[in-house]
């Protein structure tokens, strides 16, 4: 029986490879119940949803202390804005884990790889643990490694679409070529799609919309957590290769054909 090792990113290790985004939930109670149901160990929160002056409506009140909190730079349109948000988050006591999210496209909401690389380089030099959200491009991924990123987070498809692994072939290139954890982020809409991503060899999956907009978010998050664990086991077990022609499970010889 294959035994897995925890996922290591910077100075932390994770046994659950399902990461959760906290946007779009109908209420903060659902966030707390979803975290509990799925046993996630890392959640990401936009700085604009954190109000440290108010406790009742502060989303941080619904996230257990043992959870790794990663502030994201949602809303940043360029590197300068992303860096400013990251610094504000750390000054507000939210730690140094930051998901760089730079989007200057209002239609497709695609991440700006060039500005993401710039922000990553600045923040990594300031001792941030930088997890950059990116379009799956090998050259950009290599530049992010050189800039000091702690992982790369390629999109599976356009954010919020639930379309699944539309960028599968390009993500596979990153898995094969990048010597950092690869975390699929954005576009995963079903547990089966998350399992498929893990079977490719990615290290973790971050999902938000598919959970928050489900009829029962805690149950959906549990399904995602189990699917991701299942996909990981399948990958470690070395999936069998596909074949173009049929191959019988049992030999087509024996008593039925004996004269």
Catalytic residues: 99
CA neighbours within 13 Å on the CB side: how many for 129?
14
Of 168, 223, 245, 178, residue with least CA distance to 199: 168
User: At how many degrees (to 10) do helices 138-147 and 113-125 cross?
Assistant: 20
Contacts with 128 (C-beta within 8 Å, 6 or more apart), sequence order: 86, 90, 96, 97, 98
Burial status of residue 238 (CB atoms within 10 A of its CB: 0-12, 13-18, 19 or more): exposed
Please count the other Cβ atoms lying within 10 Å of the Cβ belonging to residue 130: 27
């Amino acid at each position: 029986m294959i035994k897995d090792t925890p996922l290591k990113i910077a100075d932390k290790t994770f046994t659950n490879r399902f990461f959760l985004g906290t946007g779009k939930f109908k209420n903060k109670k659902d966030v707390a119940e979803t975290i509990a149901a799925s046993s996630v160990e890392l959640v990401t929160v936009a700085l604009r949803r954190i109000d440290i002056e108010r406790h009742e409506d502060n989303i941080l009140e619904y996230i257990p202390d043992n959870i790794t909190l990663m502030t994201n730079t949602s809303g940043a349109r360029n590197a300068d804005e992303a860096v400013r948000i990251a610094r504000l988050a750390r000054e507000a006591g939210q730690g140094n884990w930051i998901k760089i999210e730079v989007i200057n496209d209002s239609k497709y909401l695609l991440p700006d790889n060039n500005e993401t690389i710039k922000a990553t380089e600045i923040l990594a030099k300031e001792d941030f643990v930088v997890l950059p959200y990116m379009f799956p491009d090998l050259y950009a991924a290599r530049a992010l490694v050189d800039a000091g990123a702690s992982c790369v987070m390629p999109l599976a498809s356009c954010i919020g679409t639930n379309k699944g692994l539309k960028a599968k072939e390009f993500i596979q290139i990153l898995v094969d070529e990048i010597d950092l954890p690869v975390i699929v982020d954005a576009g995963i809409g079903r547990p089966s799609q998350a399992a498929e991503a893990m079977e490719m060899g990615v290290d973790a999956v971050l999902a938000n919309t598919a959970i928050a907009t489900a009829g029962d978010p805690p149950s959906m998050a549990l399904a995602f957590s189990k699917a991701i664990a299942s996909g990981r086991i399948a990958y470690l077990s070395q999936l069998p290769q596909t074949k173009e022609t049929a191959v019988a499970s049992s030999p087509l010889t024996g008593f039925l054909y004996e004269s």
